[in-house]
Chain A
């Protein structure tokens, strides 16, 4: 496959670039296999725009005479406009962009071609191994073991090769349980709450079917996480009627007769195309140019986006509450166990575990609970809010998770080591990236694509000290407590950093951020100075005393 075949006009001059809050710039447009590059002609401060084709969500073209205009809408929600003189050039460029931004094969994506310009200090592909996590776990409990039952992805294609399961359950039993759970996703450990030894498990729905099939091994597995005489909670992310209907298709839920020690709670979390539509409506509302205040609020309401945020946060808080307050173990699942399940388990960890609120810990959480847990990134993030494709597997599941983290962050601004930009970065890279981290739908696919060998990991780049400093929260103070966010509507806000990022003036907010950093920086500098002097003085004084004694 030659990209050159797709590029009919590689270069156009006298193109004018329009962006909101920037003056229009004239320059040259170039198309390469993976980038749209615009560089201004002005010699004094040449402006350059590099846009990944994979970041382009949709493209519109229109003509006034021979002046063509292309409107490019990106997956990161930015909208730019290019005025291109010459109808033919414009048409060629538009069709090239269209073709290049919708390449079918993963191996043609930019991460396979990207060559880093930085020195790799630490290979991100091996930064977060489950083995390390298990080692950490082993230091506090010996009730769990690492199982390699899935080492060739045969038991569960969407699970990683190693998982953590109760020690008392052997691989043979796991194989049986896998047959009883949708997609082979048997219950595995998601989080261990050191404070009281309670565990959070996740899985997919049990395949009880209409005749109420049961699986003794499944019962034994999840019961192994309970303290004697105590009960656990199953948090089902579907409403009861949906769970009941699932039985007709072979799915189902844990019935109380077979799971007497478990109490089931249905906490509905919206899925798939409903989320995608909500996303599209919200972005539409944010781009609405009308001056009418009422229309804004009703559009915001009609998008239902904040309702989804509220429901999701509530479910996560509930899971956290069961573990921390009720001292109970929790099993979380929906249907497939790859979307709402992961949202709930990962958010509950943000609430419960201070480690997840550090940069490194949050990266580990994303790796463990999203990438390794088999959230199908490639399907879900194939398109963003401007696409017309409306494929049923597209959904902003990960974005919702990131926004919930942001909402908690807003309520506990001093408890997170990272800042908002870090969350935005993850959103961007999940949708389009030069790194291979978010390619593929699960570990099995990533292994087949040989991503660790052929592409660079996002973590290799982001964990370099010079990058990391941009994502640090200046006012972070480690907080070892559980943080309980409010889920009242008054406490939730639209995430402007994502949705209004390109249509609000950000200068003043950036200045405020700078000022915050400066205040902290100056304080630290002074502290260092004072400490030096203090010590110096102390030394001189003790010496003085020694002298006097002598």
Chain B
């Protein structure tokens, strides 16, 4: 469709005209205009909703909201075209078969071997070995090898050694969706562990001997402790309501040596609505500070983030400080449980704060344990009530931690944003389907590519310049402040206003420091080369008997000396003179050249710095965001010196 206008939702002045293309996988908008022809590409799978608004004089507006928080506002001249686009997009954005998803057609031009290598980058067996299992207390169980016990669990599950197949199967029958307690994280240092499951089918009075034995086995696997915590991440009221449906929570009287604890994290529906409310605030045209803060508070979003963090902190503390094992569950044990287990692991183990470790963590707590990616993120057309930003919240928790512990993570904010993007993009196969079983049936690994390999290949972009593996923040358990700490949780504009660059800091410290580090590395290499060349030169020249005085004419005394005694000047003396040379001169004018060098190198290697030249364009952002409305200063002829100046419009 031609002559489509792409509106900047902040300012009608900045609309651009271009052509809209629909392909099998993308919506593409190409700006008219010879020089730039800027293109906007949106994957169909990113589309969250499409809204056709009432036709106006200028055309028919079409609003496309994306799952990565991009909002695209188009105006299509002809109502019929608009309707066609609308209908097509509705169909394209809601595929019904996995085969329609982009990852099955996406081809990054890698050969088969590279693809296979990519999938091997994250290996969970290796990960459990790294944790220290199997060992005397934990073993791998093949009870679920054909998904016979629990179809949403992986085939390989770690359980206490004393838990026989009989106990596991018995316990699974007493748990929602048969999600029996299994190992999520094992702490080598003190044998404490984090296990996960779904809620027990206890109703008001039911009990299950095998389930009780299972929990007992978990406790025994940690000989240092005489009880375990059972953490139910739901609000107590929700858990009690579940009892009426024959589900519920563990009765402390029936289980020996458990301490039961509720941590009120709300369910997926509350979270979905909360995000919706927060996004409405983000979309406000020129909100006042009060509108924004009120809206943020009313959405409850940060409160929910804090609840998840608090749960993670509680578990990490139990494991690290008390040395007590924890069993975590919610209802089905695949949403809140995944959030909480992964936050706790992240706090406990520095490995998960590295780039590779973070991939492993998502693979372990989310992908392998059957987090329902397809349902939660609406990859295929499905029940809108199943959609909820569960992993988005986990990713935000990580960001909040990064803000509090700037040196503790190997990766930067961009890494998180790109992972979030690809959870919805369906460009890679990692997050397809709802369980390992479904993925195996679809032969995901043979037919699609792994995101982890893609991220790993570009890891230089995702590094946190402040991270040093030997830094104190990198070591051990992270202890976030508990109280008072509300103010530590901040709105993440880098994510939720990701596409409105005008709102973000115009200069990135991270990119600046990365550029400096990159330059540093080049300097290190150059230093080595120079030293080598110098040494060679010295060798060859010292072997040369015709050493000339000019080499030392910087130093007049020496120059004089050597010119007088050039013939007598032995090679040994020469080289010793040379050695003293650097220590005398570095301050003499090298600094200027050093400065020039920095600027040259940085300007070329750092896009954010060279973007300085764009800073003046910031004026437009300013004018459209300021409550003064109107934006530009009124033109000369518009003014009649009315008392109502244009700047007051807002």
A residues at B contact (CB < 8 Å): 231, 233, 240, 256, 260, 263-267, 286-298, 300-301, 304, 306-307, 309-311, 314, 317-318, 321-322, 324-326, 328, 410-415, 475, 477, 479, 481-494, 496, 500, 503-505, 508-509, 511-512, 515-516, 519-520, 522-524, 526-537, 539-541, 543-544, 546-547, 550
Contacts and interface: CB of A to CB of B under 8 A. Distances in A.
Residue from A300, A490, A504, A541 with most neighbouring chain B CB atoms (10 Å): A490
A395 B60 CA distance: 52
A413 B505 contact: yes
A301 B491 CA distance: 14
B615 A484 contact: yes
A530 B602 contact: no
A268 to B, nearest CB: 8
Nearest to A285: B487
The 4 closest A-B pairs by CB, nearest first: A484-B618, A489-B292, A512-B406, A296-B486
Nearest to B479: A505
A306 B503 contact: no
Given A263-B645, A491-B503, A528-B594, A540 B405 contact: no
Main secondary structure of the interface of B (DSSP, over half): helix
Given A482-B615, A485-B618, A526-B524, A515 B548 contact: no
Contact of A527 (B288, B483, B523): B523
Main secondary structure of the interface of A (DSSP, over half): helix
Nearest to A289: B484
B628 interface: yes
A301 B523 contact: no
A261 to B, nearest CB: 10
Interface string B465-503: 110100111000000010111111111010001001011
Contact of B641 (A263, A411, A504, A529): A263
B289 interface: yes
24 contacts: A260-B641, A266-B648, A286-B487, A307-B288, A307-B289, A314-B626, A317-B626, A318-B628, A413-B512, A414-B609, A484-B621, A490-B500, A490-B503, A491-B493, A500-B487, A512-B406, A516-B509, A520-B516, A528-B590, A531-B597, A533-B582, A536-B534, A537-B533, A547-B548
A498 B150 CA distance: 54
Contact of B645 (A264, A301, A531, A539): A264
B537 A547 contact: no
Given A477-B599, A486-B618, A523-B519, A289 B487 contact: no
Contact of A325 (B465, B609, B633): B633
B330 to A, nearest CB: 20
Given A490-B491, A533-B534, A540-B537, A297 B297 contact: yes
Contacts of A309: 289
Interface string B596-610: 011100100000010
Given A291-B483, A318-B647, A411 B534 contact: no
A477 B618 CA distance: 19
Interface in B495-539: 497, 500, 502-507, 509, 512-513, 516-517, 519-520, 523-524, 526-527, 530-531, 533-534, 537-538
Contacts of A286: 487
A437 to B, nearest CB: 31
A318 B626 contact: yes
B612 A481 contact: yes
Given A487-B626, A503-B484, A543 B520 contact: no
A28 to B, nearest CB: 31
Interface in B425-474: 465-466, 468, 471-473
Interface stretch (B76-84, B116-124, B298-306, B363-371): B298-306
A532 B585 contact: yes
Interface of B: 282, 286-294, 296-297, 300, 302-303, 306, 404-408, 465-466, 468, 471-473, 481, 483-491, 493, 497, 500, 502-507, 509, 512-513, 516-517, 519-520, 523-524, 526-527, 530-531, 533-534, 537-538, 541, 544, 546, 548, 550-551, 554, 578, 581-582, 585-586, 590-591, 593-594, 597-599, 602, 609, 612-613, 615-616, 618-619, 621-623, 625-628, 632-634, 636, 639, 641, 643-648
A415 B509 CA distance: 11
B590 A293 contact: no
A531 B589 CA distance: 10
A489 B486 contact: no
Contacts of B516: 475, 519-520, 523
B610 to A, nearest CB: 11
B594 A527 contact: yes
B627 A314 contact: yes
B521 to A, nearest CB: 9
A547 B530 contact: no
A159 to B, nearest CB: 28
Given A288-B484, A301-B293, A533-B582, A486 B621 contact: yes
Contacts of A322: 633
A381 to B, nearest CB: 25
A527 B597 contact: yes
Nearest to B526: A530
Nearest to A287: B484
Contacts of A520: 516
B14 to A, nearest CB: 15
A410 B643 contact: no
A516 B517 CA distance: 10
A524 B633 contact: no
Given A264-B643, A511-B407, A321 B633 contact: yes
Contact of A528 (B484, B490, B591, B643): B591
Contacts of A263: 634, 639, 641, 645
B625 A475 contact: no
A338 B590 CA distance: 48
Contacts of A233: 633
A330 B502 CA distance: 26
B289 A492 contact: yes
